[in-house]
Structure 1
Amino acid sequence: MTQPIGPFKLVTVNTAPDRARRLIGRVVEDVKERYTIIHAGNAASIDKVKSVVEENKPDVLFTASMWSPQEAEQIIAIAKEIVPGLRTFSLPQGLQVEKGPDAVVEYIKEHLPSLLGQS
């Protein structure tokens, strides 16, 4: 049995912090054999991104599906000014609304290997 890779510190940018925590909790549980992910914090608005990223110095940042592609780019630009090598991942706009939380969890899990590197 190989050790999971990580730990990766994750910050989410989601206007619904409880939902972000729940969804990420499911992802973390589902992938714990392969990756160690710590949900370090959540920025509930674009204005909060800078302070949350400065405080947590994450390895990974996820933008939720309520952000437009332009807003996601803005969020990522702010975060990368603070943590230049930051890995980022943006959920497609509307995914949560159109397909629900299970689709979000699956989408993240599907893309984690390319984001975090294969073990």
Structure 2
Amino acid sequence: MAPKGPYKLCTVNTAPERAKRLVGRVVEDVKAEYTILHLANAERIEDVKAMCEKNQPDVLFCASMWTPQESDEIQRIARETVPGIKTMAIPQGLQVEKGPDAVVEFLKENWPRLVGN
């Protein structure tokens, strides 16, 4: 069976290299089931709208360095910019408290429910 997708993914992370690395691990781990294309990362909340307008992503992830309020704002901007986008906030502090492996596991566990299959 062919993988589902492709899903266009954007991230909001103040450490773009780390975002790229972590998402790269998720993409690699799920590639038999899903095709995920990481198109762009915004480092600032002010850049989310432009990134979403340009890339029209299917999915947006907020990194764990954002507060719940900032994550809510990021997701609100994404939903207003791209109708139907799926958004997910990584729990605040997950990367710091449990490390990158915990973030990768969180994303892999939640991906099927997020995209609806």
Please give the TM-score of this superposition, normalised by the length of structure 1. 0.96
Consecutive unaligned residues of structure 2, counting only runs of 5 or more, are: none
Instruction: For 1:10-21, list aligned pairs within 5 A.
Output: 10-21=9-20
Structure 2 residue matching 1:41: 3-state secondary structure: strand
In the TM superposition, structure 1's runs of 4+ consecutive aligned residues that sit over 3 Å from their partners are none
Report the Cα distance in structure 2 between the residues aligned to 1:52 and 1:12, rounded to whole angstroms: 9
Aligned-pair identity (%): 63
Report the Cα distance in structure 2 between the residues aligned to 1:92 and 1:75, rounded to whole angstroms: 14
In structure 1, the residue matched to 2:53 is: 54
Instruction: For 1:1-119, list aligned pairs within 5 A.
Output: 2-118=1-117
Residue 39 of structure 1, CA deviation: 0.1
CA offsets 1:18-51 (integer angstroms, 9 cap, x no match)? 0000000000000000000000100001011011
Residue 84 of structure 1, CA deviation: 1.4
The alignment's C-alpha RMSD in Å is 0.6
How many pairs are equivalent? 117
Report the Cα distance in structure 2 between the residues aligned to 1:102 and 1:113, rounded to whole angstroms: 18
Consecutive unaligned residues of structure 1, counting only runs of 5 or more, are: none
1:91 alignment partner AA: I
Residue 116 of structure 1, CA deviation: 1.5
